[in-house]
Structure 1
Amino acid sequence: MAYKVEYYREGKLIGSSPWDKDLEATKQFARDGLIRHSCDFARIIDVDGSGAEIWSVRRDG
């Protein structure tokens, strides 16, 4: 499966990263990216399937 992790700060998309690991590894990558990119929100997009958001995380939770 291939994913795209999008990073947001104050509601604005500030970057994205492609990722081709399993979903659990992708979730950890997204969590780590919140700190690395100084973001407050990240979401994972399924780029192989429907293109839908399949998971998201906020820095405060």
Structure 2
Amino acid sequence: MWYAALFADLVVFLGCGLLAERLLPPIGRTVAWIVLIMTFGVGAGWLWGRARQLRRHPEGRHE
């Protein structure tokens, strides 16, 4: 199920990036892309770590 969350994270990342391209001045676009890339990296890393944790410890699946 983590792959669906990762895909949603990617879609939001690209959507926000394209919105920033249309609405912000050049320096704002650069800052926005840097922040978006960092945010995507953190989100993807968290999802990957969570998926690995659940594979190693399946008894933790009580969500």
TM-score of the alignment, normalized to the shorter chain, above 0.5: no
TM-score, normalization by structure 1? 0.36
Q: Which structure has the larger Rg?
A: 2
Higher strand share: 1
Higher relative CO (Cα under 8 Å, sequence separation at least 6) belongs to 2
TM-score, normalization by structure 2? 0.35
